[in-house]
Structure 1
Amino acid sequence: MTDHEVLDDAAYARILQARLSEPRSLRRALAERPRRALLPPDQRLVVLAADHTARGMVAADSDPLAAADRRGLLSRLLIGLENPLVDGVMASADILEELALLGALDHRLAIGTMNRGGIIGAAWELDDRLTAYDADHVAECGLDGGKMLLRLEMTDAGVARTIELAARLTTALADQALMAMIEPLPYRKDDTGRAVLDTSEHGLVRAVGIASGLGSSSAHTWLKIPATANPALVAAATTCPILLLGGDAGAAWEAVFDRWRQALTVPNVRGLVPGRALLYPSTMTPREAVGRATDLVHGPQSEGAR
């Protein structure tokens, strides 16, 4: 099935025309969509992540522009949302509004990404400023929560501002009883001064502890972290519920899936929030990848079960 078959010309034209003749309909569609409770009966979640383009990340696998085509990205999200066990989408306002205009977020969660100022590859990448939703607009737009990225590197002064921002946002979301989804990741600088992910479990354990302590209340804090070889060790650093990210799995998709399976046995690991791993899988279709992920989290269920 091609992108044009999933998101046909008429539906795509509706988005384009709305931006010209009725721009308020985009935000209204999101704010007035039929809502649902945060958690389903099994208290586990599968949320599709689609906020990467908002900080300039458009590559997937071997294609440097895989996610750059908006119609293609929307089509893959629509394919994922065909599965009734997908709980929602985490994205920037443009993508959430476009999906809402198409009716694809009815009775689904919508999580708004918040700090996208850390453009990938930029000299200021770790000084990750608020450039998308703030907490007030998360509430006003009828969203179910806000997500923030927190990359921790000990030599970059911009990280302190990012920590302070994440703490303020966590407090503001908690004050409105909205999910604060924090993605804490340990980073280091390579020989060229570029920020790169620190894949050590020790570093991730420290980052999880720091993220758990942010804000004036942790009552609505959820963490988004990678699945490691020893997920119980990392999850033991917090009582906050955890969702697992996927990253750009590339040819290692099966290894990512195996780590998800292992990590989901840990009590406070409550689901997945993958993006490119499901939307741009290298070894199967997005529909197949999403189906495997929802079966892993929610168990094989009929559409009527939810």
Structure 2
Amino acid sequence: MTTRISGLATLRARHPEAVAEAAARRTRRPFIGARGRLMIIAADHPARGMLAVGDRALAMANRVDLLERLCLALSRPGVDGVLATADLLEDLLLLGALENKVVVGSMNRGGIAGAAFEMDDRFTGHRPQDIARLRFDAGKLLLRIDYGDPGSLATLETAARTIDAMAERQLPTFVEPFIFRRTDGEARNDLSAEAVTRSVAIASGLGGTSAYTWLKLPVTDDPADMAGVCETSTLPVVLLGGAVGSTVRDQEAAYERWRTALRLPTVQGLVVGRSLLYPVDGDVAAAVDTAVGLL
């Protein structure tokens, strides 16, 4: 696998058309399979400058290593697909790793983590027309709302129009909403039940139709509150994994939070990234298999 990945630069340099050719011949599958649940591996973090995993500041910076982990995760039984930016998805296309998989394009990555303009979360990734042209299956957008930042209104409007453009193409959109707060100069997502509930209500009403809208939600600080959060909307929900601590106990606690939330009637699956690709014990296959088993 390492040799094939190392050859990607040469292939891209000499045959850039290979990406479109691979996309055109990719074998697709139904968005929702026979199991009725979705298990998606997320890997769109690097495009926002989020390369850290635990105490390793540049863990996701090694592209060969990341691609090897992704290919392993995608090969495990029960994994339905992947969420990533164009560069990663095209590498996976060229490696043949996206056959019979759900492919989700990440659309807005402009809010670089830690930057002064982080809340100006522009759509710098896939456009709806790109997702349709490449025969991908869905898109994902990040919707962070800062009540103290007037720029959030522009993000809301752009998100709504993107949802409209995706729906026109009958393409599902995963909307990942957060209420964003600044305390003593530190910005963080508010995972209290009230904040997540409010973000769900706002996200559900975006666009001229919600027919193709899904919600991608964090598990609240108190997992017991998730039932009330999910009662805020009838839209289908997938749970995002989020950051997991640095011990095996932290990882096991995360699995238990997901297991509890997956019992809720609107929850249709998981979209998890770093905690499965870079598990505490280093065993990617075992981490992915455990997550699949929760479904």
Superposed pair shares fold, TM > 0.5: yes
**Alignment of structure 1 residues 52-201 onto 2, 5 Å:** 52-192=45-185, 194-201=186-193
Contact preservation (8 Å) 1:31, 1:143:
no
| Match in the other structure for 1:275 | 273
Q: TM-score with structure 2 length normalisation?
A: 0.96
Q: State the shift of 1:42 in Å.
A: 2.2
Corresponding residue SS for 2:59:
coil
**Alignment of structure 1 residues 169-248 onto 2, 5 Å:** 169-192=162-185, 194-228=186-220, 229=223, 230-248=225-243
Q: State the shift of 1:284 in Å.
A: 4.7
5+ unaligned residues in a row in structure 1: which ranges? 1-6, 298-306
Contact preservation (8 Å) 1:46, 1:87:
yes
**Alignment of structure 1 residues 261-300 onto 2, 5 Å:** 261-297=259-295
**Whole-Å Cα distance in 2 between the matches of residues 215 and 208 of structure 1?**
14
Name segments (4+ residues, structure 1) moved above 6 Å: none
**Whole-Å Cα distance in 2 between the matches of residues 224 and 273 of structure 1?**
8
RMSD of the alignment, in Å? 1.1
Contact preservation (8 Å) 2:215, 2:237:
yes
Corresponding residue pairs, total: 289
| Match in the other structure for 1:8 | 2
Q: TM-score with structure 1 length normalisation?
A: 0.92
What is the percentage of aligned positions where both structures have the same residue? 45
**Whole-Å Cα distance in 1 between the matches of residues 201 and 168 of structure 2?**
21
**Whole-Å Cα distance in 2 between the matches of residues 60 and 30 of structure 1?**
31
| Match in the other structure for 2:244 | 249
Per-residue CA deviation, residues 233-265 of structure 1 (Å, 9 max, x unaligned), is 111111111111112212321111111000010
The one of 18, 28, 35 equivalent to 2:21 is 28
**Whole-Å Cα distance in 2 between the matches of residues 28 and 116 of structure 1?**
26
Residue type matched to 1:260 in 2? W
Contact preservation (8 Å) 2:43, 2:83:
yes
Q: State the shift of 1:186 in Å.
A: 1.3
